Structure 1
């Protein structure tokens, strides 16, 4: 209501009783910021962070205050911290609120899908205003920006940077830092952005010039290196290791760490990963090839920041179950995000995390080592063959995996055989009713002859963008905005979709008790469920859930994720 005087008085009264009250300190900072007193705002946010150093919102607000004061290094540090603490999920919405970004997006929207001349889009200032957006730069370095509007805008920015680098233009440090951040974003999304033929030719020519300069020992400008890295991964370039022996500004050093040092570390990790089972099923071999080429997902931010932040604050105390020593199997761990979440929740557990893709496992091992976790054992294995490992587990997790097997139920039976009596399993399976749009998209892809190659995936995505109204669920899916995610979503070599009655039949056949679906992101789902069955609603009743899904087929758009228990003997 902008009744600042009253609000400030209330905050001061609270702080008189509780000097470290974070919400009051943060509100006082926001009010000082709104009135233009950025110095006072920065002080308040600093006090709030001193009381709660893992508060993402306070770090974001501190970043804005320091940016207004011209303290750009401090602002970037706070923005990066906010993103690392979980604000990555909201990054797109914050970026799209920027007046600079809004202006560019508006100019593009007026002519989309026709191209906008670069001079008309960026004007006489060029991309300097966009390059100066520190939160945008931090977000590009930290997470996939899942937005059609931002992807199109950043595509124009990349083309403009290519023009500057090709012309050997002199640019300031902000432009170089922006180019590095964009190159890191392109690496995260695995170069999924579309590009015209003339742009591809120019990028190839710039790469060839870079390779010649590398071979001859000639000077390479930071902009040239950053722009090449926005089109091609540096670790794939011949003799790229020579780059590590040169002195570079900090932004380039960060780019080299992500695109060169870390991939080299992952290659070294492969030799330490054992193979537990053969991989001989024809479908399993094809699935393995897919995820070797496109490990999924290429995540960057700690996947359990909210939980670990609350534990750091002392707001949550581990339960007896979470403190217990237990054996947990992660069947299909991918690049490790899932296994790392479980390892943080159950610090005394012994985890075996298996996957069919050695490339994914190497990524998982590197991220696990970075986080200092020591209770995860990684191994290559096919779920269909796991019955031969002669081990059992207190709990088993397999989310988003079984539906890519040649026979999902056969793989699920193997997992049931490995579960100890009294144990629980958490399973995630695709819903047939919810994925009608995916079925339509896959049929269209087949009819148009798109293959699961990088070029075809890019072309397919651009066609979907042009028909955005027809494909809103796809364009709203985060997986659509990376090469591995889009391949997993639309080009997977094997996808089965199940129904709730099929799940119920399997649980009944194997003596498993359904314990409920995972909490929904939208609380309205449960409200609707209870209204459909007034007075008798039972969240563990699969027949009721089936009837609900018939009425609301989009309910399980991501997948069915549920827990089932095995009877104790």
Structure 2
């Protein structure tokens, strides 16, 4: 299936048959948050400061059934959001989802990523989750999106990783072989795949991986079909990922799960190896980490279009004159025990808690420290944990 139009038609047919993601439609805003979709939190993560404006334009490129689109509208109350997708059936679900939850600052277009230039203007934030790896030509796709990113804008991307999806790829190929001439009949593919899993011995590697990692979500046929009978998938490793990124012409800002890409967690007991790794380039370090921990099922990262000004808070005076406020993606405050932006539990000391309570978006760090004996090192600790968003003086 090498013809791009044939591939696109097959992908559209899959999602017309099984709209994805199959999250329930609610008559209220969706629960919780994904900080990568919150402009304040994402911009601060990428630059270390509060964005200069919040009345932005956001593109959800390959919006599917609108799960991410809905969050983008509700988490960014001043933004105008546009969603595009290849599947008309899935778009209908997205429209209903957003209508029902009151996500009314959004417009949808039945459009391929390749044709995104047909949309007016540029976008400050482009979200492209789970899409590029399903394109016949991902490089053409990312280049088309890059042209629509405004100067100073951010792009959040999610693509599959080959190392952690090895068993999935084997299962995809097995289903395709057994389907034979029925390939493209997606309900039949789901039926065949479920029959295989039901028949495999308990100690089979594919079955064990499915049970330990995927079986809960794959109870739904939409998820099973997206994973095992998709007609088009390209999986990446660090080397091929950066070929894609370099082709975009944009700046790689960083992975949005930085704790995974920390070599200390793997080789911390061997400081001489950590020292050797310091001789490697950043990309070689990333490659080393995924080779040592081949659980990488996907890559999540931010790209940006220069000029992107990153704040430098190493200067004490700059930090003292900044205005801090709480990261909007924190759950449980005001309490000394909260979920942070990444849903990890954080416990505050009494002094940290008092400082955070004073972060009202009006007072400077210096003014708060007159009352609270936290010190600049304490403030920097809160910053490193993404608990604060700072506005420079």
Q: TM-score band (shorter)? A: 0.5 to 0.7
Q: How does 1:180-191 map to 2 (within 5 A)?
A: none
Contact 2:139 2:248 in 1 (8 A): no
Unpaired segments of 5 or more residues in structure 1?
Answer: 1-279, 309-317
Which of 366, 369, 372 in structure 1 is aligned with 2:99?
A: 369
Q: State the match for 1:551 in structure 2.
A: 292
Aligned length: 277
Residue 241 of structure 2 is aligned to residue 503 of structure 1: yes
In 1: Cα distance, 2:209 partner to 2:59 partner:
32
Pair 1:454-2:187 in alignment: yes
How far the C-alpha of 1:545 sits from its partner, in A, is 1.1
**Match among 306, 318, 327 for residue 567 of structure 1:** 306
Structure 2 unpaired stretches of 5+:
35-43, 309-393
CA contact (8 A) 2:143 2:247 kept: no
Aligned to 2:228: 490
SS at match of 1:448: helix
Aligned partners of 2:116 and 2:144 also within 8 Å = yes
**2:20 counterpart of 1:296:** yes
The answer for the alignment partner of 2:54 in structure 1 is 324
Match status 1:386 vs 2:386 = no
Q: How far apart, in 2, do the equivalents of 1:524 and 1:510 lie?
A: 22
Tell whether the 8 Å contact from 2:257 to 2:300 is kept in structure 1 after alignment: no
- The reply to whether residue 305 of structure 1 matches residue 305 of structure 2 is no
Quick one: structure 1 residues 417 and 323, their matched pair in 2 at CA, closer, same or farther if it must change by over 3 Å? closer
**2:208 alignment partner in structure 1:** 472
Q: How does 1:424-435 map to 2 (within 5 A)?
A: 424-435=154-165
Q: Deviations over 1:134-171 (max 9, x none)?
A: xxxxxxxxxxxxxxxxxxxxxxxxxxxxxxxxxxxxxx
Check 1:387–1:286 CA distance in 2 against 1; reply closer, same or farther (3 A cut).
Answer: same
In 1, Cα distance between equivalents of 2:303 and 2:56: 17
Q: CA deviation at 1:563?
A: 0.6
Q: 1:510 to 1:383 in 2, by over 3 A?
A: closer
Q: Which residue of 2 aligns with 1:106?
A: none
Query: 1:500–1:542: 8 Å Cα contact kept in structure 2?
Result: yes
Q: Distance in 1 between matches of 2:121 and 2:7?
A: 25
Is contact 2:64–2:94 with CA below 8 Å preserved after alignment? yes
- Asked whether 1:423 is paired with 2:153, we answer yes
Higher strand share: 2
- CA distance 1:284–1:372, change in 2 (3 Å): same
Task: Map 1:52-91; keep pairs closer than 5 Å.
Answer: none
Question: How big is the shift at 1:420?
Answer: 1.1
**Deviation of the 1:415 alpha carbon:** 0.4
Q: Hey, what does 1:81 align to over in structure 2?
A: none
User: Are 2:255 and 2:299, in contact at CA under 8 Å, matched by a contact in 1?
Assistant: yes
Aligned to 1:252: none
SS in 1 for 2:223: helix
Matches within 5 A, 1:178-327: 281-300=5-24, 304-307=30-33, 321=51, 324-327=54-57
Q: Is the 8 A contact 1:384 1:414 kept in 2?
A: yes
Q: Is structure 2 residue 82 aligned with structure 1 residue 352?
A: yes
Answer whether contact 1:393 1:423 (CA < 8 A) is retained.
Answer: yes
- Secondary structure of the structure 1 residue equivalent to 2:203: helix
CA displacement, residues 363-399 of structure 1 (integer Å, 9 cap, x when unaligned): 1111111111111111110011112334211111111
Aligned to 2:319: none
Contact 1:323 1:346 in 2 (8 A): no
Distance 1:289 1:481, change over 3 A: same
Choose which of 528, 538, 558 in structure 1 pairs with 2:265. Answer: 528
Give the alignment's TM-score, normalised by structure 2. 0.63
SS for the counterpart of 2:179 is coil
Cα distance in 1 between the residues matched to 2:130 and 2:218: 16
Deviations 1:81-125 (A, max 9, x none): xxxxxxxxxxxxxxxxxxxxxxxxxxxxxxxxxxxxxxxxxxxxx
Q: CA deviation at 1:514?
A: 1.8
Quote the residue 1:437 is aligned against: 167
- Aligned position for 2:141: 411
**C-alpha contact 1:322 1:345 (8 A) present in aligned 2:** no
Contact 1:336 1:368 in 2 (8 A): yes
User: How far did residue 485 of structure 1 move?
Assistant: 1.1
Residue by residue over 1:478-529, the C-alpha shift from the partner in whole angstroms, topping out at 9 and shown as x without a partner, is 4422212111101111111122122223433444222222237x87977525
Cα deviation 1:423-457 (Å, max 9, x = unaligned): 11011111122221112112211232364442441
How far apart, in 1, do the equivalents of 2:305 and 2:73 lie?
Answer: 22
Q: 1:514 — aligned with what? A: 252
Cα distance in 1 for partners of 2:278, 2:128 equals: 28
Instruction: Write 1 or 2 for the structure with the bigger share of helix.
Output: 1
Change (3 A) 1:322 1:440: farther
Q: Distance in 1 between matches of 2:218 and 2:263?
A: 27
**1:231-257 CA distances to partner (integer Å, 9 max, x unpaired)?**
xxxxxxxxxxxxxxxxxxxxxxxxxxx
In 2, the alpha carbon distance for the partners of 1:509 and 1:370 equals: 39
Deviation at 1:417, TM superposition (A): 0.8
